[in-house]
Amino acid sequence: MPNHASPITNYAACILAIETSCDETAAAVLRGGKLLASEVASQIAVHAQYGGVVPEVASRQHLRALRPVIAQALAAAGVALAEVDAFAATCGPGLASSLMIGTSVAKGLAVALRKPYLAINHLEGHLLSPFFGTHEGVRPAVALIVSGGHTLLVEIEAFGKYRLLGQTQDDAAGEAFDKVGKLLGLPYPGGPNVNRLATSGDPARVDFPRSMLHSDDFAFSFSGLKTSVRYLLPKLGDISLPDVCASFQEAVVDVLVAKTLRAAEATGRRLIAVSGGVSCNTRLREKLRAACAARGCELLVAEPALCTDNAAMIGYVARLMLAHGQSSALTVDIDPNLRLVA
């Protein structure tokens, strides 16, 4: 079905953005460069009882939560639905049945109100989130995306111009945190819990492998590290749980930091932009800050609320698309395997 709405190039446009790619139901309202409201209804408590995200449960939760979350975002922003100039939703990558819900609602609203629809790549949302709210906007950089589903190193030339430098060959960094958390009997999601326990542990207590640290590329591998933790568990001796968490975390962080800095060196970029849920990790932030200071690089990490899944980052990409005169046809379908770079 064609979208009859005329394109907008107005930078002050009001955008309603929706994110339902995984286990957070989120809506945000932006006007111009300003975030007016960002609401997130987390499904963590629901999925925690299964030890991970159950796709069928996730889509039912999105169905229940999306209308109230949109209403809350509009109310918090003080914006009426009729004032919204464009509707955006994440179209991939993610869980098919979850993506369907956000995109269907955004398309329905766009059709009913005869406004443009914008299909947004979730990875581009993460990628550009560190630039949101900065005076300069998107700048050339080396970007590290570390989330539950992805670990990517990307060179950003400008908005829409990205080059994939490397990515994980197996587990994503967040997935490794979550799997290790599960092995250690910690509540889902493991990432924040491993991070919390690690603060009282010794990062040098166990010398876990730093997979692909010295490989001549920008690829990552974290599944071997998770296996090392599993083999260690039956013979822990006097090694404490915080020591295991701190040592595991150190191994992940060391590889992420070293490869990111090497990518900056190889591309000549002096700005490093880090995003995704794992960029909340306090040790990763600390070691990135130190490494960037030592090499004279600038570090840009979004505030924690913009690192984990949210709709503000989706709205930011939508705003940049509108500013470039772009919108999406209503025929643009979801793509659970959507890539950042074709």
Select the span of 81-89, 112-120, 189-197, 234-242 touching ligand KG4 (CB under 6 A): 189-197
Among 3, 308, 327, 328, binds ligand KG4 (CB under 6 A): 308
Q: Which amino acid is at 329?
A: A
243 binds, among Zn ion, ligand KG4, none (CB under 5 to 8 A by kind): none
* 308 touches, from Zn ion, ligand KG4, none (C-beta below 5 to 8 Å by class): ligand KG4
Among 277, 313, 320, smallest CA distance to 28 is for: 313
* Alpha-carbon span 243 to 18, nearest angstrom: 40
Q: Which among 70-78, 81-89, 219-227, 304-312 is the span making contact with Zn ion, rule CB under 5 A?
A: 304-312
- Which of ligand KG4, Zn ion, none does 280 bind, CB closer than 5 to 8 A by kind? ligand KG4
- Minimum Å gap between C-beta 276 and ligand KG4 is 4
Nearer to Zn ion (CB atom), residue 14 or residue 128: 128
Based on the shown chain and the rule CB under 5 A, indicate whether residue 147 belongs to the binding site for Zn ion. yes
**Total residues found in the chain within this entry:** 342
Helices (H), the chain: 44-48, 55-77, 96-113, 122-128, 173-183, 190-198, 223-232, 241-267, 282-295, 304-307, 312-323
C-beta closer to Zn ion: residue 19 or 250: 19
The yes or no reply on residue 98 touching ligand KG4 (CB under 6 A) is no
Task: Measure the CA–CA gap between 284 and 87, rounded to whole angstroms.
Answer: 35
Name the residue among 90, 112, 111 with its Cα closest to residue 1.
111
Residue count at the site for Zn ion (CB under 5 A)? 2
C-alpha span between 222 and 229 (Å, rounded): 11
If we measure between CA atoms, which residue out of 113, 29, 18 comes closest to residue 62?
18
Q: Which amino acid type is present at position 113?
A: L
DSSP character at residue 277: G
Rule CB under 6 A: choose which of 309, 311, 312, 340 binds ligand KG4.
309
CB closer to ligand KG4, 111 vs 184: 184
Of 3, 98, 168, 195, the one binding ligand KG4 (CB under 6 A) is 195
Nearer to ligand KG4, 177 or 208 (CB): 177
C-alpha dihedral (70, 76, 81, 85), degrees to nearest 10: -100
Binding test (CB under 6 A) with ligand KG4, winner from 192, 201, 203, 315? 192
25 binds Zn ion (CB under 5 A): no
Interface contacts to ligand KG4, rule CB under 6 A: 22, 147-149, 174, 177-178, 189-192, 195, 276-278, 280-281, 308-309
